Amino acid sequence: MFHVLKIICCFSGRVLSPERDIMGIMATLETTVNGLRFKNPFVIGSGPPGTNANVIRKAFDEGWGGVVAKTISLNASKVINVAPRYARMRSEGSKEVFGWENIELISDRPFETWLEEFDSLKQSHPDEILIASIMEEYTKDCWHEIVERCQAIGVDALELNLSCPHGLPERKMGAAMGENPDIVKEVTGWVMEVATIPVWAKMTPNITHITDPGRSALAVGADGLAAINTILSVMGVDLKTLRPLPTVEGYSVPGGYSCKAIRPIALRMVMQLAQMMKSEFPDRTLSGIGGVETGDDAAQFILLGAHTVQVCTGVMIHGYDMVQEMCSSLLAFMESHGFDSLEDFRGASLPYFSTHADLVERQTQAKAEKKARREGMVEKDAQWSGDEFVEQSDRLVSND
């Protein structure tokens, strides 16, 4: 019954706990981020699950807290996709998918069509959070135009795709910008000159120090960061044909790796960004992305400082209704710790990262304390002595 109640409450973002409703206390997944009210922190990540108005409507109706639409640009005629464009990595026994490579580009649908769809989505779902993901060439006027036209149509926020690692970098877009902190600063600065709604800069993981581009975007006023986009990869080589995968007319290019396998890398990068933001930009926000499929996965991103959590590949594997189970398991986690809101545990695990030297020192100290406790304790029967018999007995008592 409680489980059913929680699923129902996913739509309102609140849940009543049987133990705690006597006191009238309610745990909630609702959260306000950059002034926007999300009914829960689960946001569709930019990609196929947000690729047109039909699927975005489905996401809202299933209970997602928000949607980042597939990345758009002013001139879609330059975007030409190939097929096949995905390759999957499965575990040998269960055939479970844990790694996913794609060589998909941004949306190939016309910008004007997108504006009409954004408009119709905001009319039919005015309270849902709709975020436009935008990408443009290295030209100030283009960035100004795409920002101004998207915000005029009524989307709630913008995510800057400075991070797609394949195809677009050949046109000096996407990760070609995101891997250069100076260009991140310049382009985000152009956006902030005209933006009137919240802006998140989406980071590429294909860089040594993720805090460098993160700091650049925040320094010129971005309201938040989203991390991570996909990791540049080669899925494998077909041992019969000797051709790399995914193979298009016998050839391939490195693509972006996503799904569960990237989660540890995403968690590490989110942790590093959160630590930097805590000390340098405490009023900005962070959207964690990478291999999220359950409420427990989301809890870990929030414990490391994320305000929202995005899911892309997970939806392609499990479907839109996965959000209901995610809401109920995140609430169960919160209940088990007595957390009433996401704010109660956001960043709570950050203080437990340290240096290797500190770990060594802590371990040396713990061993010394353990030794001191053990000293004088009889461990083998041959150690009993007639002279110290009573003291030795005493030291073996645990509960005086």
Ligand X SMILES: Cc1cc2nc3c(=O)[nH]c(=O)nc-3n(C[C@H](O)[C@H](O)[C@H](O)COP(=O)(O)O)c2cc1C
Contacts with ligand X by CB under 6 A lie at: 45-48, 70-71, 100, 102, 104, 106, 133, 161, 164, 202, 229-230, 258-259, 262, 289-292, 311-314
Q: Which residues are registered as beta bridge partners of 227?
A: 288
31 vs 46, beta carbon nearer ligand X: 46
Spatial distance between the Cα atoms of 304 and 59, rounded to a whole number of angstroms: 26
Nearest distance from residue 240's CB to ligand X, in Å? Answer: 26
What is the β-pairing status of strands 14-16 and 26-28?
Answer: antiparallel
Catalytic residue at 142? Answer: no
Give residue for tokens 């041959």.
382
Nearest distance from residue 303's CB to ligand X, in Å? Answer: 18
Nearest distance from residue 22's CB to ligand X, in Å? Answer: 39
Angle at 129 between CA 1 and CA 67, to 5 degrees: 85
Find the radius of gyration of the CA atoms of the chain.
25
Catalytic residue among 164, 259, 312, 327: 164
99 vs 181, beta carbon nearer ligand X: 99
257 vs 339, beta carbon nearer ligand X: 257
Nearest distance from residue 212's CB to ligand X, in Å? Answer: 19
159 vs 335, beta carbon nearer ligand X: 159
Spatial distance between the Cα atoms of 46 and 134, rounded to a whole number of angstroms: 10
Nearest distance from residue 242's CB to ligand X, in Å? Answer: 26
Where in the sequence numbering do the catalytic residues fall? 164
